[in-house]
Amino acid sequence: MQIREILTLKSDTIYSIAPTDSVASAVEKLVSLGVGSLVVLKNGKMVGFLTERHIVQGMARQGPALENVEVSAIMATEPVVASADDSIDYARDVMTKSHINHLPIMDGNRLIGIMSFHDVARACLKEANFENSLLKRYIKHWPE
């Protein structure tokens, strides 16, 4: 199964923030939208990626003063990304090895979506259940 197939089941909405916005405004946005990551856009182009983990790490380093810091100071400037044509197994492996919960999905140089680890787990489970049902059907008709 390809990532592109999973994205068709998700909303096309990509939540974003500007690199000059404060971390406090990013936290407000994450909470109000109920998401764990924001794409950092400048002039319509992705210049970074901000996740809950970046904020927690920033708090550990800077404490409460972090709320007034610009998003650009703590965002990932070269996030791990995947292609829409990559397999869901690739996404699972790269997210696990990189210890990330959100993965920007690119089609060439164009951002087309964000995939969460929950999306990946759901797709893997669906695929495993399908294979399991095929195997059960095959075994049921096994000649004796």
61-106 confidence digits (pLDDT tens): 998 889 899 999 999 999 999 999 999 899 999 999 999 999 999 9
Residue 87: what pLDDT?
92
- CA–CA separation, 76 vs 68, rounded Å? 18
Residue 43: what pLDDT?
93
DSSP 21: S
pLDDT above 90: residue 121: no
Of 106, 102, 89, the residue nearest 1 (C-alpha):
89
Give the angle 46-50-53 at the CA atoms, nearest 5°.
Answer: 155
Structural domains in the chain, sorted by start = 3-140 (3.10.580.10)
Helix residue ranges, H only, 37-101: 52-62, 88-98
Give the length of the chain: 144
